[in-house]
């Protein structure tokens, strides 16, 4: 039974990691696209000057926050399942 719980906790943790990674990458791509559109407008004389470092720093920070919020429920499930395993010793027999 404990092995099943351990596997379940590991799978939930893996799901949390995958969700976090996908959401983070999506946010970074969107930030890069916004930067390129704004930079293109500047080059064409239709927008104000924009630098890559500040634009991407902002985008990365926002992506990390959003990814953490989206992945938190799956990680919470993994932690709760893992906490149920704490102190359980399958070799120990009552009595």
Total domain count for the chain?
1
- Helix 2-43, helix 52-85: angle, nearest 10: 170
Residue 61: CB atoms within 10 Å: 12
Please check whether residue 5 is in contact with residue 85, taking contact to mean a CB–CB distance below 8 angstroms.
yes
Per-residue tokens: 41:
């407008």
Q: What percent of the chain has pLDDT over 70?
A: 91
Domain for residue 93, yes or no? Answer: no
Domain for residue 21, yes or no? Answer: yes
What's residue 1's pLDDT? Answer: 73
Residue 53 has pLDDT above 60, yes or no: yes
Domain for residue 29, yes or no? Answer: yes
Domain for residue 59, yes or no? Answer: yes
Domain for residue 8, yes or no? Answer: no
Query: Which range of residues forms the domain containing residue 69?
Result: 13-83
Does this model's pTM top 0.85? My answer is: no
Domain for residue 91, yes or no? Answer: no
Domain for residue 88, yes or no? Answer: no
What's residue 7's pLDDT? Answer: 95
Distance (Å, whole) CA 10 – CA 34: 36
Domain for residue 89, yes or no? Answer: no
């Amino acid at each position: 039974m404990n092995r099943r719980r351990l596997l379940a906790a590991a799978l939930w943790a893996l799901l949390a990691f995958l969700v976090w990674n996908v959401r983070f990458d999506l946010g970074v791509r969107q930030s890069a696209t916004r930067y390129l559109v704004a930079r293109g407008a500047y080059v064409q004389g239709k927008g104000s000057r924009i630098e890559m470092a500040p634009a991407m720093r902002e985008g990365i920070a926002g992506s990390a926050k959003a990814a953490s919020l989206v992945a938190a429920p799956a990680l919470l499930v993994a932690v709760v399942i893992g906490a149920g395993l704490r102190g359980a010793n399958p070799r120990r027999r009552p009595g």
